[in-house]
Amino acid sequence: MKHYISIIAFFVAAVSFVGCNSETTVYTGPEYVGFADSIAVCPVLATGEDFEIEVGTTVDFPYDRTFGIEVIDGGTNAVEGIHFTLPSNSFTIKAGERKGSFKVQSIYNNISATDNYQIQLRLVTPDNLKWDLYEGNQDIKVILVKRCPLVIEDYDNRYCVVQSSFLSEIGYETRSRLIKTYVDREAKDENVLILKNFLVDGDIFKSNYDIRIKFETSNPLTPDLSMESGQIIANTRSLMGAPFGETWIRTELNTMYTNYYSACEEFAMIYHRMWVEGQGNMGTYWAVLKWISDAEGEYIEKNGF
């Protein structure tokens, strides 16, 4: 099994012996140049932003040094000029510095959300700058992951099919449920969506059992969801035929699992814990949300699943 380490981390760890009175540890070993990581995930964005990849070295010099980058066919299934381009096949580590970088440009319109494209890149450096024990730091695999921009209005007054493990457990006639979603225009935060009667319809105890989820957009590589804890999702008297605890069934996201959405494919995956105050935990359930067209929603309303 190959062991990859960061060339920058090596610089910190591989230090020479220094005097007892020295306050600074200085690396005096040989020079190596390599990638900081063996794998990089490149978000493919509609804004066309370049993805920057860093390269480190153990020794700095008082002059600029330029190195090459090449695409390795083995391990690459993306096509240069169609799925990506390299603005430059070289990069420079400036005088007095121990790292440099180069950019990868992805081509948004030629990549779909379900594509699995990757690029294998290799440093072109003199042999004396390679470290045989960790030859992997001369290569990096760049994985292209498309991320569509979230437009919250696209989910307003939309049909959504909910598939839920909870519905199966309580004996719901089908695991799937048709609901509608609306933008919460009174929310303090942006990108908050109302899931109308998420798992059950309103009853004599409460007119609706809506919940609200928020689409997080700060990091395109992690399109997470969040939810205010304690939202009421059902009533034990209607759902179980008898009052338990305070009777309200509440929910929150279980953050031990990955809760995420895909704006490209218009779906979301949530794992939520349910409980009744004074009664205890009911468990964690999964739910898949898939937004559909008006025509599909109206057909299901009329004919069922």
Pair type for strands 33-35 and 117-124: unpaired
pLDDT of residue 249: 96
pTM: 0.79
Residue 204 sits at φ, ψ, to 5 deg, of: -70, -15
Instruction: Give the per-residue pLDDT at 37.
Output: 85
Encoded tokens for 157:
């007054």
Q: Residue 7's pLDDT is what?
A: 36
Euclidean distance between CA atoms 112 and 96, whole angstroms: 42
- CATH fold, domain 152-303, is Lipocalin (2.40.128)
Q: Which residue ranges in the chain fall short of pLDDT 50?
A: 1-22, 24, 27
Distance CA 52, CA 65 (A): 18
CATH superfamily of the domain spanning 7-147: hypothetical protein (bacova_03559) (2.60.40.1740)
Which among 283, 284, 274, 279 has a CA at the least distance from the CA of 249?
A: 274
Fold agreement between 7-147 and 152-303:
no
pLDDT for position 5: 34
What integer pLDDT is reported at residue 268 of this predicted model? 98
For 81: left if phi > 0, alpha if psi spans -120 to 50, otherwise beta; the answer is left
What's the pLDDT at 29?
57
Terminal alpha carbon distance of the chain? 50
Q: Where are the domains of the chain?
A: 7-147, 152-303
3-class secondary structure per residue, 175-232: CEEEEEEEECCCCCCCCEEEECCCCCCCCCCCCCCCEEEEECCCCCCCCEEECCCCEE
* Coil, helix or strand at residue 44: strand
